Amino acid sequence: MSISSSVDPVTFEILSHRLHQITLEMGTTLERVGGTVNTTQMHDYMAALYLPNGDVLSAGESMARHAACAGFAVKRIIERFGKEGGIFPDDIFLLNDPYLAAIHQSDIYMVSPIHYRDRLMGWSATFVHVMDIGAMSPGGNSPGATEICHEGLRIPGLKLVEKGALRQDVFDTLINMTRQPVMVGLDLKCEIAANNVAKARMREMFDQYGPELITSVSSEMIRYSESILKRRIREIPDGVWTDSGAIQTDETWNVVLALRKTGDRLVFDFTGSDQQAKRGINLPYHATFGTCFEAVLTTLGYDLPRNHGACGPIEVIAPEGTVVNVRYPGPVSLNTTSGMKTVQYLSSSVLMQMLATSEKWQREVMALSLGFRLARHAGVNQYGRYYVSTLLDLSGAGATSYGDGMNTGGYLTAHNVEWIESNFPLFYLFRRHIKDGSGAGKFVGGSGAEAALALHDAPEGRIKVIAFGVAGLRNSGQGIFGGYPAAPSLLVLLEDTKVRDFIESRKYPKDLADLGGRRKLLPYCEIDLKPDGVLYIRSASGGGYGDPLERDPKLVAEDFSNGLISKETAEEIYGVILDENGLAPNLAATQNLRLRFRQERSEGVG
C-alpha cells in the first residue's frame, strides 16, 4: 500500500515515527513525575495525540482502548467549552465522567489543546489511575457500590489549567475530596507535565516542518492505517463467529458476542448480553467500543500507525441497559478489570476464530485470557501515614500457533517487592511462577505468578484489602483449538495461620498448606488483613494451543526442569514418561502411553 503523492515516503516515515515518539516521551513523563505504583511502576496510564476534532492521531503504545475513550473526552470538551470560546492556548481540561467518555472515575483524563500561532492544531491527552477518588471504598474500586453516586467524584469537564496557570482553588478542591491528597495531587501534576511535553514537542515540529506538512502527514497516517486494515479484512473469508463469557460471584452476568465480517466491515454485536448489574462491572458504550478498537489494532493492525483509521472498519452494537452499555445510574467502578476483561477476551476470541479461516492469517492465532484477580490495600503504614495502593501479579500470555506463551508478561508490569515492603506494612512470604498453572497444549500457555503476603509492622494491627478483578473461577487463560484452559486466578484469605511462627523463626513456607489456617475464597468484597492472616494472590496463566499429546516430549522435560510442571502433569496430561532424574523423556514409553491415551478417547462413548 503506497502513501499519497502529497507527502514523500521518507518524510512520512520520519514524521509519523516522531509523533509516536512524542507519545512515548509523554509516558516517560508520567512515570517520572507521578507518585503512585500504578503510574510509576505498572504502566497503568495512557498518552496519545489527537486531531483538532478529537479523532485519534497517535495512540502511543499504552492501552489503545483508553486512547479511543480519551478521543471522546476531547469531543466532549470541545462541545462544552468550544461554543463559549473557552478553549485557549495552554489550557488543560480534566474529565472523568464514565457517562461521557471515561471508563470509570479513577481513570482521570486530562486533555490539552495544542495551538500553534494561536491556531488550534490538535490535542494531547493522558490518563492515570489515581489512587483514590472519594468513592465508598479506598482506591475507587467499590464492591459495595450499587449506583454511580457511590463511586466518587464524577467530573463532566473542568478547566484545571487556564492559559498556562494552575487553578489552585480547583486543584485543592479536587484533592481535598480524596483519601490521598498528596498522591492524587502528584498524579494530576504528572498528567499536566505530560501534556506540556506534548505541546512543546509538537510546537518544535511545527517550527521545523511547518503546520501544513504536519497536517498532511497526520491525515495521511489515518488514511494509510484505515486502507491497509480494510485490505487485510477483505483478504479473510466472510463469516460469523461467536463466543460468550461470564462474570460470577453471588450472581452471574453473561456477555455474548457475534462478529459478522462482510467485505471490509467488522460488526461486533453484543445483543443477548445480560441486563446491567447492580455491581460496578458495567461498561459504558464508548468503553465497549474502545475495547473492540483495541482488539482490532492488536490482531490485524499491530504493525500500523495506531490511530483513528482503525475505527473505519468497525461497528459495535451494544444494547442500552446491558452490562456492555450501562444506563445511568448503573455503577462502573470495578469494570476495567471485570466487564472490560470479558469484552477484551470475547472481541479477541472472535477475531482469532476469524483469522484461523485465512491461510495468510492463521499463524497469528493466539490463546486468550478471561482476566485475573487483584486487590487494593489501604490503612496506616509503618510510618504512621494513611495510604492506598495496589497488589497485582503478572499473568502468563496465551500460547500461539507457533510457540509457547510468555511467562509473566503483558502490557502491565508488576510492582517491585522491596518497594512494596519498604512503603507499606506488608511482608512477602513468596512470589514465584505457578507450577502446573499454565494451559496445556502442543504449545503451552505462559506461567503466571503467585504470591503470599502477611501483615508486618502495621501500627493498627490490620489493613483493609479490597478484592476485585474477574470474580468466579473461569477467569484465567482459555485454551484454543484443543489447548487446555489455565488454572483459575484466585484471591484467598487464610485466617488463623501459623505465619507469625514462620516470620519469627525466619523461615518461609514452601507451600501454602504449610501455613495451616482456614481458606476463604474472596469474591468482590472488603476484608481486614490481620496479624495471623495471609493473603494469597494467584494470577492468571496463559491458555494452551492444540493437543498436549502433540507437544514435543523434550519440551515437556524442559518444563519439568524449569519447575513449571510436575512429573504427574508430564505423565497424565502430556503422556510423557520422564527418566529418573527428569532431564529427558523416555521416548519408547512415551509413545506407548500416548497411544493408550488416544485409544481411551473413544472408549465409553455411545
Partner 1 sequence: MNRPLRENLEVYTNREGAWIRCTKCSRVLCPAGENWRNRCVRKLLPPAKGGPLMKDLAGHFLLEQLYCPGCTALLNTELVEEMKHGEEGRPK
The closest alpha carbon to 130, from 158, 97, 104, 167, belongs to 104
Q: Does 564 sit near partner 1 (CB under 8 A)?
A: no
Q: Does 601 sit near partner 1 (CB under 8 A)?
A: yes
Residue closer to partner 1 by CB (options 505, 602) is: 602
Residue closer to partner 1 by CB (options 293, 545) is: 545
Which of 118, 303, 568, 580 touches partner 1 by CB under 8 A? 568
Q: How many CA atoms are closer than 13 Å to the CA of 439, on its beta-carbon side?
A: 40
Q: Which residue's entry shows cell 488454572?
A: 487
Q: Where are the beta strands (DSSP E) in 29-118?
A: 45-50, 56-58, 92-95, 107-116
- Return the amino acid letter for 203: R
Distance CA(74)–CA(83), nearest Å, equals 14
Distance CA(328)–CA(196), nearest Å, equals 34
Distance CA(176)–CA(170), nearest Å, equals 10
Q: Does 487 sit near partner 1 (CB under 8 A)?
A: yes
Residue-by-residue DSSP string for 223-252: HHHHHHHHHHHHTSPPEEEEEEEEEESSSE
Residue closer to partner 1 by CB (options 427, 574) is: 574
Q: Per CB under 8 A, which of residues 434..453 are in contact with partner 1? A: 434, 436-437, 439-440
Q: Does 366 sit near partner 1 (CB under 8 A)?
A: no
Q: Are 459 and 382 in contact (CB under 8 A)?
A: yes
Q: How far is CA 94 from each of CA 50, 135, 170, 343, rounded to the nearest angstrom?
A: 16, 18, 11, 27
Q: Does 474 sit near partner 1 (CB under 8 A)?
A: yes
Total chain residues near partner 1 (CB under 8 A): 44
Residue closer to partner 1 by CB (options 546, 585) is: 546
Q: Per CB under 8 A, which of residues 372..411 are in contact with partner 1? A: 401
Least separation, in Å, of the C-beta of 465 and partner 1?
20
Residue closer to partner 1 by CB (options 268, 484) is: 484
Residue closer to partner 1 by CB (options 14, 473) is: 473
Q: Where are the beta strands (DSSP E) in 434-533?
A: 449-455, 463-469, 477-478, 490-495, 518-521, 525-529
Q: Does 469 sit near partner 1 (CB under 8 A)?
A: no
- Stretch of 17-25, 38-46, 355-363, 495-503 lying at the interface with partner 1 (CB under 8 A): 355-363
**Residue 116 carries which DSSP code?**
E
Residue-by-residue DSSP string for 317-338: E--TTBTTB--TT---TTGGGT
Residue closer to partner 1 by CB (options 218, 273) is: 273
Which of 364, 514, 528, 547 touches partner 1 by CB under 8 A? 547
Q: Does 428 sit near partner 1 (CB under 8 A)?
A: no
Q: Cα angle at 194 between 188 and 196, to 5 degrees?
A: 105
Least separation, in Å, of the C-beta of 601 and partner 1?
4
- Stretch of 9-17, 20-28, 543-551, 584-592 lying at the interface with partner 1 (CB under 8 A): 543-551
What residues line the site for partner 1 (CB under 8 A)? 237, 353, 356-359, 362, 365, 401, 434, 436-437, 439-440, 473-474, 478-485, 487-488, 490, 521, 545-549, 566, 568-569, 572-573, 598-599, 601-602, 604-605
